[in-house]
Chain A
């Protein structure tokens, strides 16, 4: 075994417990493969060879209990999640020399499980983008086709799992940044309910929208990782003080009589016919598994993108003000005045897309424009939440495509940011409403690119989302398809 494309967390765990190989051997193999594969893929910004081996050796010394499922499993951490003593850049020049002195809560939790962090995965700068092309550290390629984007912003996290470099990764999702790259790479990605997973240590983009979540090859693996990272955290007072169920417990219960809503807006104009076709087949699949599927309407879907880009950018414009070159990170000290240091540092330190959003957000919050932009967007958000609530009075989950198209060609959408923004049309409403959303591979395009099915659940009902995804996965067995990588 050189890569993990035919493996799952469960299967590797079994092998580790049975001592077929040590964690150190496993980690070394993963590092060797990743180093080779990443020459083309570029899924990682930092490969922590020494750190990973050290962690592996420690776990080998301690031994692995049967129920310690994540122990010794190599994983990739999105590089906007801070890791103590390990470079954390958020794919930006402005943090290109930033080594945190503390761990994010999710990192702490995974370290307690004996995790092996292989390295830090690539992303769009500050998670702003849908293709991982805005990274200061170069583009990541799609695991299925190296002429295509991996999606974004968690492109590195998705590609590293799909290519078999790691068994799972963590990403973050503000407007689709876990689900869309999961869809483009044919894997499972979950954005949990807002408040399910602590954001402490996640470098903020849009604080009211950001959530950390797992990317995995299979649904059950995904549930296993969520089990490990979910829960209230007193360091994040927006995290929910609710009990976390064992997400694997009822995962195999099937979808008989599950009430599924399909919003007609999710399959309307602008959705690629191949995507539409694949999702329609998925709907038939669910029906054949005993689910009750009905068409519904979320009439305000079309306002989601506008509201999102105002709210997310407004929050980002404030969150990113702290990068001033004073206390950490890149600093240009050639200027003579404080003002010049701020300007030079930020002009050089931020890329174009980040600057665009800072300007957009700053404008939307400015005196005289606040009511017309920020306030209006906040109202749209409330309306969308009501739309979802109404549907969930009668349905258990909502399904549709994750993205309007399969992965697009590298460089093809850079010219017009608005085209790029449209890719998030189906994922954004879920962030605005704070709901859990999962993407799972539902089939392939004529170019053999994966097409994602999105499953949206009620707030804090990830269990039902997983149950539906598992039933679909069991019926389709699509996770057994392996990417070729080279075109």
Chain B
């Protein structure tokens, strides 16, 4: 737990890999998981004599992210070189937007678990290139894979407004959601398409001087980051109370001990010798271009949320659940698009579908359920073809990729609504339960419930409850 007499300040740097077809500065394809160095060319290798060619699409994606985070777009973008020598960085400099980040002065609103909201300001977002990947073989050699080298990234830098690990967590979730709905990235931490580095400092309440920052790096989930920040908050407070000072250092998270571990102590600032990239011209972003990009932006989270509430009459809570991920929201819209009732579609996704995902630890995109099938299932229930009980069975078939109508027909799951079939069954049950008829005449309603139960048992739950009810009442009244 945090100590009451200290104030925590957290800064987050979030890197998001963008799903462009080609790299930021070369025509090589961007694709995760290909054989090492397949997606590379002379530019990616930093060959003598090569020049970069800036990818316009990557700039547009950067603009999309900036717009989604309520930022001002910088009109004249100059590229800068950040110099450092490392084998995963063949040119020995990274091309970035140090002086003119594409987006500035943004903000997002986060909601904490207790329902309170807070605005977190975003300092800047810049487009830059990713580095390659080094692996260290057991044969004494290290290996460099440059497939990732040059993949377009955006780096999102927060202002020091985050004051607790929970806020950091909520901020990251919010960023992931907002970026995801722009469609520019998969924002998957496990594939590295989203990476978050944090810095954290504490200071005594009443002090207006920030404490010494500790950096947390290489953390691969939001909840680990939250735990690491909480650990760090506590560690720093205890150090200060013990009269020690905080070192400027970089730490990583250790899952086993749920603690942070020192990676390296920083001695002075790194000197990256930034300067304007002479090989790329300044890019002017016109009003027209911004509008063009705005038009290309998919519907935002808040627009979808409002549409669900206003057009489909969903509760804000349900609308919120459906817009948590782009995949869920798209799935919902498609299900409704295939003609299913919007409210029932929402209930099905939030209820049965989510339960199935949770039980099996799956993501929606990893299942065989399709919007078309789900829509068909809901329509089969609504038009009385199958009972809700049968629907459970059909849903299981849906998760195995089966078409609901086919399944219903093959398995004779059609709900029984025919009077000529139900009438004799009901008459026989009424005949066999004279006491219930007497009770009914005496005004005891539970007799009806008992008889319906008997009928459903007899029909294996396949009888249409509305039809059964109607026939039964008529039958009883006639006695």
Contact = CB atoms under 8 A, between A and B. Distances in A.
Interface of A: 81-82, 88, 90, 95, 98, 100-102, 104, 199-204, 206-208, 234-238, 314-315, 317-318, 321-324, 326-329, 338, 342, 362, 365-367, 370, 374, 378
B76 interface: no
A204 B47 contact: no
Contacts of A202: 49
Interface in B261-294: 269, 271, 273-276, 278-281
B48 A95 contact: yes
A366 B281 contact: no
Top 3 nearest A-B pairs (CB, nearest first) are A321-B92, A208-B278, A365-B273
B279 A238 contact: yes
B87 interface: yes
B42 interface: yes
A82 B51 CA distance: 13
Given A237-B280, A324-B85, A367-B271, A200 B90 contact: no
Contacts of B281: 237-238
Contacts of B271: 366-367
Interface string B215-259: 000000000000000000000000000000000000000000000
A147 B387 CA distance: 105
A152 B87 CA distance: 33
Given A102-B42, A366-B273, A367-B269, A321 B50 contact: no
B51 A200 contact: yes
Given A202-B49, A203-B48, A366-B271, A322 B92 contact: yes
Contacts of A206: 278
A206 B280 CA distance: 13
A4 to B, nearest CB: 28
B51 A237 contact: yes
B93 to A, nearest CB: 6
Contact of B49 (A100, A208, A315, A327): A100
B6 interface: no
Contacts of A100: 47-49
B91 interface: yes
A88 B49 CA distance: 11
A237 B48 contact: no
Contacts of B91: 321-322
Interface residues of B, number: 31
Contacts of A234: 53
B46 interface: yes
Given A207-B278, A234-B53, A365-B83, A322 B273 contact: no
A342 B85 contact: yes
B49 A318 contact: no
Given A200-B51, A207-B278, A318 B92 contact: yes
A354 to B, nearest CB: 14
A374 B275 contact: yes
Contacts of B144: 326
Contacts of B54: 237
Contacts of A317: 83, 273
Given A322-B92, A326-B87, A237 B81 contact: no
Nearest to A329: B48
Contacts of B53: 234-235, 237
B49 A338 contact: no
A100 B87 CA distance: 20
26 contacts: A82-B49, A88-B48, A100-B47, A102-B42, A199-B51, A201-B50, A203-B48, A204-B49, A234-B53, A237-B51, A237-B53, A237-B54, A237-B281, A238-B280, A315-B278, A317-B83, A317-B273, A318-B92, A322-B46, A323-B48, A326-B87, A326-B144, A327-B45, A365-B274, A366-B273, A374-B275
Nearest to A234: B53
Interface in B72-118: 81, 83, 85, 87, 90-93
B51 A236 contact: yes
B49 A321 contact: no
B51 A328 contact: no
Nearest to A98: B48
B141 to A, nearest CB: 12
Contacts of A326: 87, 90, 144
Given A362-B273, A367-B269, 14 more contacts: A95-B48, A208-B278, A235-B51, A237-B53, A238-B51, A238-B280, A315-B278, A317-B83, A318-B83, A321-B85, A323-B48, A365-B273, A365-B275, A370-B273
Given A200-B51, A374-B275, A321 B83 contact: yes
Contacts of B274: 365, 370
Contacts of A81: 49
Contacts of B278: 206-208, 238, 315
Nearest to B92: A321
Given A237-B281, A318-B83, A327-B90, A370 B48 contact: no
A192 to B, nearest CB: 17
Contacts of B42: 101-102
A82 B278 CA distance: 20
A82 B273 contact: no
B58 to A, nearest CB: 14
A69 B45 CA distance: 37
Interface centre among A208, A324, A366 (most CB of B within 10 A): A324
B93 A318 contact: yes
B49 A203 contact: yes
Given A207-B279, A324-B85, A338-B87, A318 B51 contact: no
Interface string B328-354: 000000000000000000000000000
Contacts of A342: 85
B297 to A, nearest CB: 26
Contact of A318 (B87, B90, B269, B273): B273
A207 B51 CA distance: 10
Contacts of A315: 275, 278
Contacts of A101: 42, 47
B289 to A, nearest CB: 17
Given A237-B54, A318-B83, A362-B273, A104 B90 contact: no
A296 to B, nearest CB: 29
A224 to B, nearest CB: 25
A200 B87 contact: no
A318 B276 CA distance: 11
A95 B281 CA distance: 29
Contacts of B279: 204, 207, 237-238
A366 B83 CA distance: 11
Contacts of A236: 51
B421 to A, nearest CB: 75
Contacts of A328: 47-48
Nearest to A362: B273
Contacts of B81: 318
A109 to B, nearest CB: 15
A125 to B, nearest CB: 13
A30 to B, nearest CB: 26
